[in-house]
Structure 1
Amino acid sequence: MSVNSPFYNLPELPTFTLTSTDIVNGAELPAAQASGAMGVPGGEDRSPQLSWSGFPEATKAFAVTCYDPDAPTGSGFWHWTVTDLDASVTSLPADAGNPDAGLLPEGAVTLNNDAGQPRFVGAAPPQGHGPHRYYFIVTALSEPLGIDETATPAFAGFNMYFKGIGRAWLECTYEAR
């Protein structure tokens, strides 16, 4: 596994199925998932619809993240982190990452992304930096993480290391033009 993989240094976990009506694994993200807030023309900062199935029977909660390991930061860029989704939740509608839309289920905890906002922020790689990969990851958890909205995505990831029992993802790309 590549050092630049979001799964580097993480335990291998059983995989399950993640699908979306908005994004396609291996394809470029649509403008809706690019960041207008960060200056991408036509960007909407809209989180994609996501559905998952086939996760481990012992699942008690889920975490949903979007991560760009190619950001020129030395630590990647967390675009979205939602924790403590109940195990009965198996999908999120488009724009669930917008706190004003009120689409996340009760009990879900949204952490600040690396732009400092408790929401989904879309793709916005630097001009001329080449294509970036965006991993939309659902992690099945043995129990809720139990962290509050002041935690960082990295701290959530640290806790997922211990409580993750399954993982599903879609990998998309985006390049500034």
Structure 2
Amino acid sequence: MTLILPKVPLCKYCGAYRFYREPDSICCSNGQICLAESTLPQFLVDLITGIDPKSKEFQNMIRTYNNHFAFTSIGMSCDENYQRRDHGVYTVRVQGQIHHYLNDLIPQNPCNRMIGIQFYFYDPLHQASYRMNMLPRLNMTIVERLVEVLEPNPYAEMITTL
């Protein structure tokens, strides 16, 4: 038997899709939060939809690129009994609340690897090489272009001017 959740109207303030029984205010606090609008750069459109070798490489590693360029990561307490991958489908059972985890803005120890938001405090000219040192399996050309694309990002600008 297939169960289908009822359709939920889009948010009347920001047009976001919502899940069944999700509160109206979860996406934009009833219109109090307004995200900066931006168009997707053609470079990203080409990487996502292209069939050339560079696009295929990006598509195969899209989660790695996404995680590598993320400001934050997911924070939660997990039931470790469900995290073993000895059989079946990988499952995460969250205990408590899910939240965004934001690393320190500056690594505590200079020998520590940079992660997340810490990359955004470096000059874009050097940021790509720092990122490549962290994950050398990524394509340098793609990393350089992604750094360029994110440079005018209003959220990155806000963070780096704090």
- On whether the aligned pair clears a TM of 0.5, the verdict is no
Shorter-chain TM-score bucket reads: under 0.3
Bigger Rg, which one: 2
TM-score (normalizing by structure 2): 0.22
Greater fraction helix: 2
Higher relative contact order (CA 8 A, sep 6+): 1
TM-score (normalizing by structure 1): 0.20
